[in-house]
Structure 1
Amino acid sequence: LSGACCLASPLFIFNSSAIVFIAFMFFWGMVVIADSPLFSTLVAQNAIAEYKGSSLTIVNCIGFSITIISIQLIGVLKTETNQQYIYMLLALGPILGLFALRKNN
């Protein structure tokens, strides 16, 4: 759902009323927050028992690193390109995650 929100962001961020914008951002925030524990659960279920803690630590570090890079990239792109479509780039993460999950099944 968070990927779908990224792709739908141009429709709601700049072209809607304040109430629709706030509702969309609230929903997007809820689904983004839910992604992290779901991903951590997948890692914990599939990691070797002896390496479970290390696996979760590494995955969280990678996640925070991607977050920092994304925030910096969005900041740069806001000054260089059309702001309406910037957040669609964030859909790459969920799309790549779905491909990785599909590949493992």
Structure 2
Amino acid sequence: MCAVRSARTGTPCSGSPIGKRHYRVKLGDVLEAHEQSLEAFGGLPGICNLDSILGAIGRPYHGYDLAIHAGDRIDDVVVDVVTGAMSQSALETWFCARLSKLDD
């Protein structure tokens, strides 16, 4: 069973663990996060491009671990990206600071 739980409902997310340290995000997880974002910040319901979402969550892990810490405000990063307050290069820098190569 997946140890990742929905922040809103406390129920296990639909994704599945990959190995010991990874979690594969499923479409239901993305849609729930979108719903939570709409409830918290407002916006229009619906998905503009489902294929882009499916492509993003379908990318394989390539031996890297993304370390997200309690102080990291993921919601702020998402809002900054969506509103254009964070550039692509700034987002790349944010991810690079948190990525580490896994031991083979």
TM-score by length of 2: 0.30
Instruction: Return the structure number with greater helix share.
Output: 1
TM-score scaled to structure 1, two decimals?
Answer: 0.30
> Bigger radius of gyration, 1 or 2?
1
> Which structure shows the higher strand fraction?
2
